Amino acid sequence: MNRREAILQVALTMGSALSAPTMASILEGYQPHRVGGHKPSPFVLGADEQALLAEIAEVIMPATDTPGAKEAGVAATIQLIMKDCYKPAQQAHFQKGLLAVDTESKKTYSKPFVDLSIEQKTAILTQFEQDAKAEAKQHPKRQEKPQATNTETSLSAFAPAGSEQTQAKEVDAETGVVVKDARKNAPLTPFFTLVKELTILGYFSSEAGCTKALAYVPIPGRYEGVVKLKDGQKAWAT
């Protein structure tokens, strides 16, 4: 049952509360209102970098019996998130890490990353994962897990670890203005840590990830607290 059928079925049980035009308007997607005026970030990846990012994401979340990161369009999502949700210093650190992957590939195997065998790609990224851990150890504070949330204050569907929204803003006590440079010198998230987190997020929140790798039920209709897990049952997408 698709979303339209599902909501129409619920609407039937509600009598006139959801009229046909109403239904149409919420099914046809949204016009974000009250959008603010803001300068877009100049962050952009070149064609080679995009291809490299797509390849890295595919190694992290490969096609198996379910689609991989490439089919799920993860690289484009990562690029957009990097552009809009991260500050210039983190963007630069990310881009530097991306290039370092290629540099390391050429140094070790005399080939760009995209041309390596899967074993070679895995070896390179395993090294980067180790390096990321070492880098993080130098800045333990940055690596703290965000606070576990509770039903009352956590209204968000998900707030992935290390996302910008889990950081408190520092504010000038007199003016209430956010002190923009307060975290200027804050340690940056290591490249591999970030690309892995964003790949996982991008993949499992994609249509392929939700509906093929996981089990997605847009409108469950009921809650059952105790259900026997079926053999091979997939985790719920949301």
Partner 1 sequence: MNLNLDAKKAMTYDAIVVGSGISGGWAAKELTQKGLKVLMLERGPDLKHVTDYTTAMKDPWEFPHRGKVELWAAEEYWANARSGGKPGEDQRHMFTKDVDVPYIEKRPYDWIRAYHLGGRSLVWGRQSYRLNERDFTANLEDGHGADWPIRYKDLAPWYSYVEKFAGISGNRDGLAVLPDGEFVPPMQMNSIERLAKAGIEKNFKGRHLVIGRPAIISEAQKIHTDLGRASCQFRNLCVRGCPFGAYFSTQSATLPAAVKTGNLTVITDKIAYEVIFDDQKNKAVGVRVIDQNTKQHQEYFAKIIFLNASTMNTAWIMMQSTSKRFPNGLGNDSDQLGRNLMDHHLGAGASGEFEGLQDMYYYGRRGNGIYIPRFANWGDDKRKDFVRGFGYQGRGGRQDWVAGASKDGFGPAFKDNLTKPGRWEFNIGGFGETLPDPNNRMRLSGQKDKWGLPIIEFDAGWGENTVGMRKAMMNDAAEMLEAAGLKNVKTRNDNTKNPGIGIHEMGAARMGRDPKTSVLNAWNQVWGASNVFVTDGAAMPSSSCVNPSLTYMALTARAASHAVSELKRMNL
Of 66 and 120, CB closest to partner 1: 66
The tokens of 148 are what? 């576990």
Q: Minimal CA–CA distance to 45: which of 7, 116, 97? A: 97
Stretch that binds partner 1, among 45-53, 96-104, 134-142, 143-151 (CB under 8 A): 143-151
Of the pair 48, 172, the CB lying nearest partner 1 is at 172
Contacts to partner 1 from residues 167-186, by CB under 8 A: 168-169, 171, 173-178, 180
Residue pair 98/49 in contact (Cβ under 8 Å)? The answer is yes
Could you say whether residue 134 binds partner 1 (CB under 8 A)?
no
Please give the Cα distance from 155 to 153 (Å, whole number).
6
CB of 8 to partner 1, least distance (A): 11
Distance CA 211, CA 38 (A): 34
d(CA 195, CA 211): 23
Q: Which residues contact 198 (CB under 8 A, 6 or more apart)?
A: 74, 77, 78, 81, 82
Determine, following the binding rule CB under 8 A, whether residue 45 of this chain makes contact with partner 1: no
> Which region, judged by CB under 8 A, interacts with partner 1, from 47-55, 94-102, 107-115, 207-215?
207-215
Instruction: Write the CB contacts of 15 (distance below 8 Å, at least 6 apart in sequence).
Output: none
* Structure tokens that stand for 126 in this block: 């395993």
Q: For residues 163 and 160, what is the distance between their CA atoms, to the nearest angstrom?
A: 6
* Per-residue binder mask for partner 1 (CB under 8 A), 63-82, x = binder: -x-x----------x--xx-
Q: Please report how close the Cβ of residue 196 comes to partner 1 at its closest, in angstroms.
A: 6
Residue 151, interface with partner 1 (CB under 8 A)?
yes
Among 49, 62, 127, 142, the residue binding partner 1 under the rule CB under 8 A is: 62
Nearer to partner 1 (CB atom), residue 134 or residue 226: 226
Interface residues for partner 1 in 14-33 (CB under 8 A)? 14-18, 22, 25-27, 29-33
